[in-house]
Amino acid sequence: MHRTSDPDISVIIAVYNAMPYLGECLESIVGQTLGAERMEVIAVDDGSTDGSGAELDRHAARHPWFRVLHQENSGGAGAPRNRALDLARGRYVFFVDADDHLGPEALERLLAMADAHDSDLVLAKQVGLGRPVTEKPYRHTERADLYTSEVYRSLHSAKLVRRRIIEAGRLRYPEDLWYGEDQLFVTELYLAAGRISVVGDYDCYYLRRRDDGQNLTSRARTAHETVAHIERVMALVSARVQDPVGRRRMLGRHFRSLLGTALRPAVAARHRDPGFTAEVYRRARALVETYWTPDMGGELAPIDWIRLYAFACGPLPAFEQLVEYDPAKGPAPRDTVENGRVYRCYPLFRDPAAGLPDVLYDVTDRLKARHHLDSMSWKGPVLRLTGHAYIHTLATDRLESEIVLRARETGAEHTAPLLARPAPELAAGDPEPTMAGFLAELDLATLAGGAPIAPGTWDCFLNVRADGVTRTVRLGRRHAPDMDRTARRPRVLASDPGGATELAASPFFTGYGNLSIEVVRRIPLPAA
């Protein structure tokens, strides 16, 4: 095939002993709906001994847009990826691991997103094959903010990247690391990107856990190899990110990694290899002392916040006991409520030997209110709403909730109590929300102290209360699909003495699906 111009995408594959998975990977690239004329493949065989090099050569013989290079083993993916980057000609590059594969439309969709929105970096929705993959980074969006969205949870290389930003920053993978090298490179990409987008409405990338256990990340690591990439990426973020929210969130992501991929293995090895454990502990403690700030607690799950505090400040046996505790096994920890605060009774709660502060176990501000709007109807000027609402994990037999109408223009509020009712449809859920149902009757003709509600846009909220804890949520986003649409028609609330005008209210759902009420003064309309 003769090319008349540079390709749109350079697909880069670092290959080391990837059989038999390599064939599926290469065929998934050949079968891309983007078309061969719009891409090139640069595959670097990093000293394979299992026939992977020959498999690459077979594909290159059939597909002229495949380029294969062979080199001695470098010990990691960084060096072969860098060699491919030196040769790439595409407007964009996309990195594929040799034991993974792509959905047929992946590259076409990623490029369409990039071209339509001038994106420098496009995340590809990942699907795990025998391994867990979080969905949080892959919410479909044309523009994702690095600091406030969840994209930074994804530090895997499988992303579409504008090659110009790579070359402008002279960005390359560190070749002295074989574990975690992609975290440093991808963090640099995030910081260099002007616009970040996400293709989250299509399964783009299939991330495999190999049956033979030969994923590179499964290789045994020294203490230095376990911690070095975290040290370097934390230093990079600390030096380059000045925004306080961004710095907190990005460093928080690496503290989660420190607990899961460094300290957890160190705890497991403490009897077998005490030297390994001691070095990981020493270097991890230095990271906590250098980068941890009190506002980062919210970036960790409650149990991880307790673990990290115990590591840094508590007795070491308490930390090791907490690491070995698995919340997924056995009954869920119970919650206890005291003076309007909710404490989750994870291990060592108020254990005098551990001496861990109560505030570590306080989950009050993390509790979520769950709600659903089932029906909406008019009876004269009274808007009648039914549904359910409760605070997750708290009992529902003492709910004292209310509905709040808040004026969008002025912030003025009117409230009305919710009548608690049984919710048998939720009995199988948690926490057995027996009285989580509600009935609200809003008399809009008398809601303002016996007078009609004022003209304007009124947004609907719920104050959900249980055991002295209150959560405020916007009402309506979760509502029955067969909601009565006649209830959204204007309803006359009051007429002026001369009959020249009338006050009418119209419920409607916003673009985000939330319930609001528009109240207007208008000239009376003839009866239908």
- 30 to 23, 24, 64, 160: CA distances (angstroms): 11, 10, 11, 17
Q: Enumerate the CATH 2.60.40 domain ranges in the chain, comma separated.
A: 369-522
Residue range 369-522 forms a domain whose CATH class is: mainly beta
Q: What is the pLDDT of residue 481?
A: 85
pLDDT-derived band at 86 (thresholds 50, 70, 90) equals very high
Q: What is the pLDDT of residue 517?
A: 96
Q: What is the pLDDT of residue 1?
A: 47
Reported as a single tens digit per residue, the pLDDT across 94-131 is 999 999 999 999 999 999 999 999 999 999 999 999 88
Query: Does residue 384 register a pLDDT over 50?
Result: yes
Reported as a single tens digit per residue, the pLDDT across 443-498 is 999 998 899 999 999 999 999 988 888 999 999 989 988 877 777 888 999 988 77
CB atoms under 10 Å from CB of 459, counted, come to 17
Angle at CA of residue 371, ends 400 and 339, nearest 5°:
40
Of the chain, the percentage scoring pLDDT greater than 90 comes to: 79
Reported as a single tens digit per residue, the pLDDT across 247-295 is 999 999 999 999 999 999 999 999 999 999 999 999 999 999 999 998 8
pLDDT-derived band at 314 (thresholds 50, 70, 90) equals confident
Q: Enumerate the CATH 3.90.550.10 domain ranges in the chain, comma separated.
A: 9-208
CB-CB contact of 107 with 8 (8 Å): no
Reported as a single tens digit per residue, the pLDDT across 320-336 is 999 999 988 878 899 99
User: CA 350, CA 361: separation in Å to the nearest integer?
Assistant: 9
More confident residue, 497 or 162: 162
Q: What is the mean pLDDT of the chain?
A: 92
Residue range 9-208 forms a domain whose CATH class is: alpha beta
Q: Each residue of 255-286: b (16+ CB within 10 Å) or e? A: bbbbbebbbebbbebbeeeeebbebbbebbee
Query: Does residue 72 register a pLDDT over 60?
Result: yes
CB-CB contact of 307 with 320 (8 Å): no
> Taking residues 202-223, what's their average pLDDT?
80
Query: Does residue 16 register a pLDDT over 50?
Result: yes
Name the maximum alpha-carbon separation found in the chain.
Answer: 94
Query: Does residue 170 register a pLDDT over 50?
Result: yes
What strands lie across the sheet with 419-421, from one edge to the other? 369-379, 382-391, 437-443, 419-421
> Taking residues 235-256, what's their average pLDDT?
96
What strands lie across the sheet with 39-46, from one edge to the other? 66-71, 39-46, 9-15, 92-97, 159-162, 121-124, 196-199
Q: What is the pLDDT of residue 212?
A: 65
Q: What is the pLDDT of residue 3?
A: 54
Query: Does residue 2 register a pLDDT over 70?
Result: no
